[in-house]
């Protein structure tokens, strides 16, 4: 996988913002087939920081209904990336 294919988007929620501020952990939506090693290489290559640990979780898609019609949201994967001590924290909205 290419580096740009592994990391799809940052997750910006209240919980991930707290993790970022208190535990030096970044959260990303990643490709479903991406491994922890690929996520580590992608973060280090694209963002230029050193990674201490990577945790991943697969989020199962929910069944959603609209009247009598039902469908299913897609299953996706998220990664929690902890940075090493002394590394500069990434700001998502620096250029805005």
The verdict on pTM exceeding 0.85 is yes
Q: What is residue 91's predicted lDDT score, i.e. its pLDDT?
A: 80
pLDDT tens-digit profile of 46-76?
999 999 999 999 999 999 999 999 999 999 9
Query: What is the chain's mean pLDDT, rounded?
Result: 92
User: Which of the following CATH numbers is that of domain 3-83: 3.30.70.330, 3.40.30.10, 3.40.50.300, 3.30.830.10?
Assistant: 3.30.70.330
State the average pLDDT over residues 87-96.
73
C-alpha to C-alpha distance for 55 and 59, rounded to whole angstroms = 13
């Amino acid at each position: 996988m290419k580096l740009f294919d592994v990391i799809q988007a940052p997750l910006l929620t209240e919980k991930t913002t707290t993790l970022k501020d208190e535990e030096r952990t970044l959260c990303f939506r990643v490709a479903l087939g991406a491994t922890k090693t690929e996520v580590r290489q992608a973060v280090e290559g694209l963002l230029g920081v050193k990674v201490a640990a990577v945790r991943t979780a697969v989020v199962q898609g929910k069944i959603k209904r609209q009247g009598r019609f039902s469908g299913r949201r897609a299953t996706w994967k998220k990664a929690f990336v902890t940075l090493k001590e002394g590394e500069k924290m990434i700001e998502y909205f620096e250029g805005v």
